[in-house]
Amino acid sequence: MSLLTRILSPRSGSSDGPRTLRLGIAGLGTVGASVVRMIARRAEALSAATGCTITVTAVSARDPKRDRGLDLAGITWFDDPVALARSGEVDCVVELVGGSEGAAKEIVEAALAAGKHVVTANKALLAHHGNALAKEAESRGVSLAYEASVAGGIPVIKAIREGLAGNEVSRVYGILNGTCNYILSRMEAEGLTFEACLKDAQALGYAEADPTFDVEGFDTAHKLAILTSLVFGVEIDVEGVSVEGISAIQPLDLTMADELGYRIKLLGVAQATEAGIEQRVHPTMVPKGSAIAQVMGVTNAVTIDADAVKELTLIGPGAGGDATASAVVADIADVAAGLVRPTFGQPVTGLAAPRRVEMQRHEGGYYIRLTVHDRTGVAAGVATRMAEREISIESIVQRRSAKAEAADAKAAANDPRGLSRAPVPLVLITYAATEGNIRAALDAIAADGLLAEAPQLIRIERE
Amino acid sequence: MSLLTRILSPRSGSSDGPRTLRLGIAGLGTVGASVVRMIARRAEALSAATGCTITVTAVSARDPKRDRGLDLAGITWFDDPVALARSGEVDCVVELVGGSEGAAKEIVEAALAAGKHVVTANKALLAHHGNALAKEAESRGVSLAYEASVAGGIPVIKAIREGLAGNEVSRVYGILNGTCNYILSRMEAEGLTFEACLKDAQALGYAEADPTFDVEGFDTAHKLAILTSLVFGVEIDVEGVSVEGISAIQPLDLTMADELGYRIKLLGVAQATEAGIEQRVHPTMVPKGSAIAQVMGVTNAVTIDADAVKELTLIGPGAGGDATASAVVADIADVAAGLVRPTFGQPVTGLAAPRRVEMQRHEGGYYIRLTVHDRTGVAAGVATRMAEREISIESIVQRRSAKAEAADAKAAANDPRGLSRAPVPLVLITYAATEGNIRAALDAIAADGLLAEAPQLIRIERE
């Protein structure tokens, strides 16, 4: 049978009889437990929708004794998840263990090798091994489904792969990490520092004890790499993502953003350019009136720019047991309905090799916050260095804090020329310029001795 | 073969060979022409995604001589679209004629009777005959696909039917008519009247010469009826939709909405209640900070409230040739990939009969704008009548226009007791109350002789 016409009839001899899909679930954390409950709760609806009875026949988790509030009667318990993946009782393996290596990888590889469908929520695994795993799945004629790996409960994989099949996509960008969006939302609303909001996020369970993976943008990069492959028909290239997190964002940046008509969001952006495909994760100024700017707290959002639909935005929960389980169950329903599509929207053998674009070549608007010595001629010096690199300035804001004013007033008696005045922020918004030119101009400004601190640079993303 | 496992292999004897899907397109207006071009432009990608070669083999339209800028070489022209629907050259009929009766209905019926898949953008046909057509499609084991019929290029049918398969939905609501949203957006932004904005919308081609169908909410009602069926698993009941358009909205209502923290949108809302399923189309106050409130101009948006994902919002183009064609081609790709799902997400025989809920039983917040005689005791009179019906008031705003002030000042000399003063607006926002109680209170207020004009009543929809 060819890939796309393969029909799932694991138990029934003929495709006419009632069909059953037997699930083996590896990992019974919040998401796994929610999947088990959802499959039970929605049994009738799922059967009506797919023409197939879906049952959980096997589970595996680290601690067999933990009370998860689940009725596991009649379900086979496996201590070894790889044995579950190979079990003859299982048609479709649901991998919810997580991590790009170790058990998760072994489970998925064993399941595919045994010709079983795989549904996973594991973005790290996909980002690092997606090409090889997709190849294996396609050669076996089985599904490797991963809706839950990107933007949690938002059915963005399905929307792009199927809903936009007629479109050529030019850009996809989104808020893909709820932890970062929660922190930035609170910093903005309450004028708090990154550190204070991170602490709250940890207390609320929105951030890990070691938050690096989320706040430095790596989680977003994994998800973006998956979207890039799907949207542009290229092999996954997570190493090609330029990554910058939110830990350097200061309350002043959020205040200035507000004043200039922007909000700051950590975006993952994949964009087709003449030189190749830009993949970048960084704090981003988005226009306040844009749909994505309204997205607050742990919510995720993805916007797709495409030739026919122009702009499509999906907003929903990016994490949480039930929301993630919703995406997992949607994938399971597709498998149950007999839908086997190529992992990345087209056969993996047809995916193009990635063509990376250096961030130096990125072209866009920039927010630049300089901390300059408060001396005559500084603004002119900055403007000259910008002009040398053909960078046009859209707006410029210089404002002294009340505290600085007070300190200076006190010092004025002994320092009539103002040489001891405190450094002041100088904020510039540029028209489109290349990152290379921006960096070169900033280096020149620093070499001129105009800066009291390293500059803050935030990219602007237009609708 | 059972419904869900039927495989499309129209031309090839075995499912192993290369497959072809032959399209017959009835209707070559803006959407039809865009579909023909998209199928050609995306031929390679669609073939890679579906494992099937998609070709247009037949077309039909009213005027064979019109230059549509299309290369129709090698494509059979049918003067009679019903003959196209029956043609042996066609595996899937794309109905883009429009209208609930006449040619469109005959084409779809003939296609289904001949065992062909149908893809349509026709919301009126679905809303009025969807139950019977779905039954026919399912008995034949073919697809009746209609992504383009609701919210244009937004893949909302797929998102609900497949992406949210694990969810129980409690409410779905959306901006489903671009004409109305364009008019309301301009009224709000520029303080213009409904009539002035309608004229502009007509000049720009966003509104028909006879705009009734759009501005009085019937188009939204058709789309809502389809969503209701899909979301709640009930038969389509377009007659059960309570419909109210936007023609009575005045600039003052938009000003007051803004002041009170709302925007006014024409929403279609389907909501599960204990008494049954409310289906209603009406101008609605939505909180300014909500995602749906940001949707301006001809853009559409749909929000789904569901148990697992909580809230999912999709925003995109609601109309236009390319956007609608995008949805049509997505359906075609599903057919080409061999995906045949029940029309309304589950077999039509399993759909429940609709249980209508009278609008009188609707419970929610209300914006009430009264035009009262400017006399002592009027506000107290209004408040008393509200209290009698156990309606709690959240805010109350009374403001005299500058014009009224000036007129009164002029008259004051001859009318020291103010008996001739111009009527003034009195705006109330209520907490949740039933529509029956609200209407009864308003009737009592009118009977008391307090009103100079009929009251304006706009429902509030909370997130």
CATH number assigned to the domain covering B3-149: 3.40.50.720
The second-level CATH assignment, the architecture, of A362-460 is 2-Layer Sandwich (3.30)
Q: How far apart are alpha carbons A266 and A176 in whole angstroms? A: 8
- Is residue A430 scored above 50 in pLDDT? yes
In the set B105, B116, B135, B223, the catalytic residue is: B223
Could you tell me which residues are beta bridge partners of residue B362? none
Q: Does A48 touch chain B (CB under 8 A)?
A: yes
Sequence ranges of the domains in chain B: 3-149, 161-317, 362-460
Three-state DSSP state, B144: strand
Q: Which residues of A are catalytic?
A: 223
Q: Does A248 touch chain B (CB under 8 A)?
A: no
Give me the residues of chain B with pLDDT under 70, please. 1-18, 400-402, 404, 408, 413, 416-419
Residue numbers of B between 340 and 369 with CB closer than 8 Å to A: 341-342, 345-347, 350
Considering only CB atoms, B49 lies closest to which of A168, A294, A346, namely A346
Considering only CB atoms, B291 lies closest to which of A147, A294, A322, namely A294
Nearest-by-CA chain B residue for A157: B163
Residue B335: the pLDDT is 97
Segment A36-48 shows an average pLDDT of: 97
Segment A129-157 shows an average pLDDT of: 97
Considering only CB atoms, A164 lies closest to which of B16, B39, B326, namely B326
Six-digit token string for A252: 């002043």
Residues 6+ positions from B44 with CB-CB distance below 8 Å? none
Do B3-149 and B161-317 have matching folds? Answer: no
CATH number assigned to the domain covering B161-317: 3.30.360.10
Residue A417: the pLDDT is 64
Quote the minimal CA–CA distance from B186 to chain A in Å: 16
Q: How far apart are alpha carbons A462 and A365 in whole angstroms? A: 8
Binding-site members of A for NADP(+) are 26-33
- Is residue A6 scored above 70 in pLDDT? no
Residue B6: the pLDDT is 40
Quote the minimal CA–CA distance from B227 to chain A in Å: 16
Quote the minimal CA–CA distance from A376 to chain B in Å: 43
Share of chain A above pLDDT 70, in %: 93
Residues 6+ positions from B7 with CB-CB distance below 8 Å? A5, A7, B1, B15, B338
B105 is catalytic: no
Quote the minimal CA–CA distance from A348 to chain B in Å: 10
- Is residue A20 scored above 80 in pLDDT? yes
Q: Please give the full DSSP string across A410-440, using - where no structure is assigned.
A: HHTTT-TT-TTPPPEEEEEEESSEEHHHHHH
Q: Is the ipTM of this complex over 0.90?
A: yes
Q: Does A68 touch chain B (CB under 8 A)?
A: no
Residue B404: the pLDDT is 67
Binding-site members of A for NADPH are 123
Residue A2: the pLDDT is 41
Three-state DSSP state, B210: coil
Residue B454: count of CB within 10 angstroms of its CB: 11
Q: How far apart are alpha carbons A195 and B269 in whole angstroms? A: 42
Least confident of A169-178, A287-296, A299-308, B47-56: A287-296
- The secondary element (H helix, E strand) that includes residue B444 is helix B435-447
Segment A359-370 shows an average pLDDT of: 96
| Contact yes or no for B162 and A158 at CB 8 A | yes
- Is residue A176 scored above 90 in pLDDT? yes
| Contact yes or no for A294 and B295 at CB 8 A | no
Q: How far apart are alpha carbons B404 and A128 in whole angstroms? A: 70
Residue B365: the pLDDT is 97
Nearest-by-CA chain A residue for B318: A309
What is the assigned CATH class of domain A156-317? alpha beta
Considering only CB atoms, A322 lies closest to which of B308, B316, B346, namely B308
